[in-house]
Structure 1
C-alpha cells in the first residue's frame, strides 16, 4: 500500500511545475551545441549518463533534454498565494498554444454551490454529445491549479470530442483539508445528475485530480451516489503517486538527482503548512481507494495515462492490475520517456496521442 501524505502531495505540485511547462517550438529544431550531450543524444549529468529512448518522438527528446539540462522553472515560493500565481503563469503558458490549436469557449458557472469553468467547443456540442458531459478535476498537488491547470486539462477534450467539460474549482490546502474536495465534487455531480444520466457522465483528472477522481468514486459509493460511466486517472493511481521502481528511477532519468529514496515522503525544506491529506489514514479508502477490495471491485471502467519517466508509473500500473484482477474494465497507456504531467504540453505528439485515447475511451463508454 502506497499511502502518501503531506510531503508527497506538495512534491506533486512542485514536480508538475518543473517538468510540465511549455517549451518554445524552436527548441524542437536543431540541437544546440552542448558538451553535456553525446553524439547519440545521451546526456552526461553530474557524472551520470542519462540516455534518451529511440521510441520517444524527436520533439519529446528535445523537450526532455531541455528539462534535464536547463531546469528552467525555478523553485516553489514559500508563500502559497505567490506560488499559486507562479503556477498559474506556467499553466497560462500551456494555454496559449493550446487555445490556438483547440478552439473552445469558457464560461464561469456555479453548479451545486461550487464555482466551475464550463468549457465547450467553439463549433458547438455535437448532437451525439448533447446529453453527455465530462467532469474535470484539476492537478496541482491539492494546493494549486484551480481555473488554470483545470483549463489545460479541459480544452483538448472539449474540442476533440465536441462535448461540454465542467472543471471543478474544489477546495484545497492549506485552507482546507480532506475530504473537502470530495464534498465539492459530489455537490457538482449531484447537481449534474438532475440533467444527465450517470451513464452519460465521465470524470477525469491529472495528478492530484487523478487521485481525486479515484477518491470521488469511493465517496460516491459511501454516499449512495451512482457511478459515472467511466473515469480517467491520469498521472496518478488509486493510492497516490509514489511507490515501486519508477519512484527510484524517475529522479535520475529526469535529471533530478539525487535519487528519490526513503526521504521521498518528506515535505520540501521550510514548508510546514498543512497538507490536504495530513489527517487521512493510509488505510482509509475514501482517501486511498486501493485500500479496499470492495471499493476497487465497484470501480467503473477506468483509463490510466502515464509516462515511463514519471514517478507514478509503477503505482498506476499496480492500480490497473488490481482493477483488472477484480474484474473491472481497465486500460493502461504509458508513453516512452514521458514524465509527470506531460499531457499539459499540447505541442508534444505524445500528448496529442494521449488526448485521442482519452476521447475514444469516453466516447465509447458514455452510453448512446
Structure 2
C-alpha cells in the first residue's frame, strides 16, 4: 500500500507521540502487528475497528503495518531543526485543509502577541457576527505556530462560519510556564474590549487543549471573566497521559506497553519541559486537582479516541467536571489515535468539526 502524504504525516505525528512516551524506534519494532493491521497484546488480538470509516481503517492500517520512518532531529538537540520538521509534517495536513475550506488568513498582533486571524471567505455567519473563538494550537509546547495553528483553526472557522484567532504563544525551550498563559490572557483581554465574555470561546488540541484548561484558572486569578465555553481536544485537565491509557494506548498503536509501575505512577507518561518546574498539585497547570476551580469552569467539550494516549485522562476530567455540576461533554471516536482530527480527509474528523461547531453555537451567546 502506497503512503499518501496525509497518511505519512499522521503516522509521523503518532510515532512522535509514542517516542515522547519513552518508546524507542527499536522497541517499537517488536510489536506484533499482522499485515491486516491487527495488534496482538499478550495473546489478545485486536483488529482494526469495524466502527471506523474505510478511510480511517486504511490510514490506521498504514500506520501500524508500513511504519514509514519520519526521522528528524530531537527537540533537545536541535530545536530549530525539530520545529522545521514538525512544520513539514503539519504542512501535509494543511495542504488538503486549504483545498477543502475557503478562508482568509491575516497575521495580526493583538495585545502584543502575534496571532493568525482566520475568517470564512464568505464572512462570518449572521449568528456569529458578535462571536469569536480563540485557538490555542498543539505541538507539545514546542512547535505548531502558524502550521498546527491553521490545521486546528481553518476547519472550525469554515464549518461554523466564525472568526477564529490562533495565538502564537511563547513555547519551550525559550519559555516555561506560565508564559503561554500570559500570552493567552493578553489576547483574551483585548477581545473583551469588543466581545462579551459569553461570546468568546477557547479551544485547542493536545498541548493546546491543556493550555485551554489552564487558562480558566489563570483568568480567574488575574481578574478576567471566564469565557462562554471551552474545547479541551485530545487532552485533559490534568496530566496528558494517565490511567489505563498509559499502558494500553502504546500496544494499540503497535508499540510495547511501558513496564509496570513501582511507585503508583504510570510509566511511559509524557513529561514536558514547559511544565518542568510546576508541581503535580498546582491547579494553575492541572486544574482537576482543585474541585473549587473545576466548579467555576464554563461548558467544556472533550474529544478523544479509543486508541489515544489521553483517553483515560480526558474521561477522568470529564467525570470530575460532571461531579462539579459543570456542563461537560465527552465525544470519543472508536479506533482512532491522538489528534486524529488533524486529518481532514477522515469522515470522523469532519464529524468532530461539526461537533465542535455545534457545541460553541449552543453555548456561546449572540
Structure 2 length normalisation: TM-score? 0.87
Q: Between Structure 1 and Structure 2, how many residues are aligned?
A: 333
Q: Which residue of 2 aligns with 1:360?
A: 358
Instruction: Give the alignment of 1:1-368 within 5 angstroms.
Output: 16=14, 18=16, 36-38=34-36, 42-43=38-39, 49-78=45-74, 79-259=78-258, 262=261, 263-265=267-269, 275-368=273-366
SS of structure 2 residue aligned to 1:204:
strand
Partners of 1:294 and 1:215 in 2: CA distance: 14
Partners of 1:248 and 1:153 in 2: CA distance: 28
Change in CA separation of 1:261 and 1:360 when aligned onto 2, cut-off 3 Å: farther
Alpha-carbon distance, 1:258 to partner: 4.2
Please identify, of 322-331 and 76-85, the stretch whose mean Cα deviation from structure 2 is larger.
76-85
Change in CA separation of 1:126 and 1:277 when aligned onto 2, cut-off 3 Å: same
Partners of 1:329 and 1:105 in 2: CA distance: 33
Contact kept, 8 Å, 1:43 with 1:65, in 2: the verdict is no
Partners of 2:301 and 2:40 in 1: CA distance: 35
SS of structure 1 residue aligned to 2:61:
helix
Change in CA separation of 1:260 and 1:157 when aligned onto 2, cut-off 3 Å: farther
Alpha-carbon distance, 1:294 to partner: 0.8
Partners of 1:288 and 1:98 in 2: CA distance: 32
Runs of 4 or more above 6 Å deviation:
44-48
Partners of 2:258 and 2:57 in 1: CA distance: 21
Q: Which residue of 2 aligns with 1:3?
A: none
Q: Which runs of 5+ in 2 are unaligned?
A: 1-11, 19-32, 262-266
Alpha-carbon distance, 1:324 to partner: 0.4
Q: Which structure ranks higher in relative contact order (CA pairs < 8 Å, sequence separation ≥ 6)?
A: 1
Please identify, of 43-52 and 114-123, the stretch whose mean Cα deviation from structure 2 is larger.
43-52
Q: Which residue of 1 aligns with 2:22?
A: none
SS of structure 1 residue aligned to 2:210:
helix
Change in CA separation of 1:73 and 1:351 when aligned onto 2, cut-off 3 Å: farther
Contact kept, 8 Å, 2:242 with 2:269, in 1: the verdict is no
Change in CA separation of 1:18 and 1:348 when aligned onto 2, cut-off 3 Å: farther
Structure 1 length normalisation: TM-score? 0.86
SS of structure 1 residue aligned to 2:304:
strand
Instruction: Give the aligned CA root-mean-square deviation in angstroms.
Output: 2.1
Change in CA separation of 1:211 and 1:261 when aligned onto 2, cut-off 3 Å: farther
Please identify, of 253-262 and 240-249, the stretch whose mean Cα deviation from structure 2 is larger.
253-262
Alpha-carbon distance, 1:138 to partner: 0.3
Contact kept, 8 Å, 1:241 with 1:312, in 2: the verdict is yes
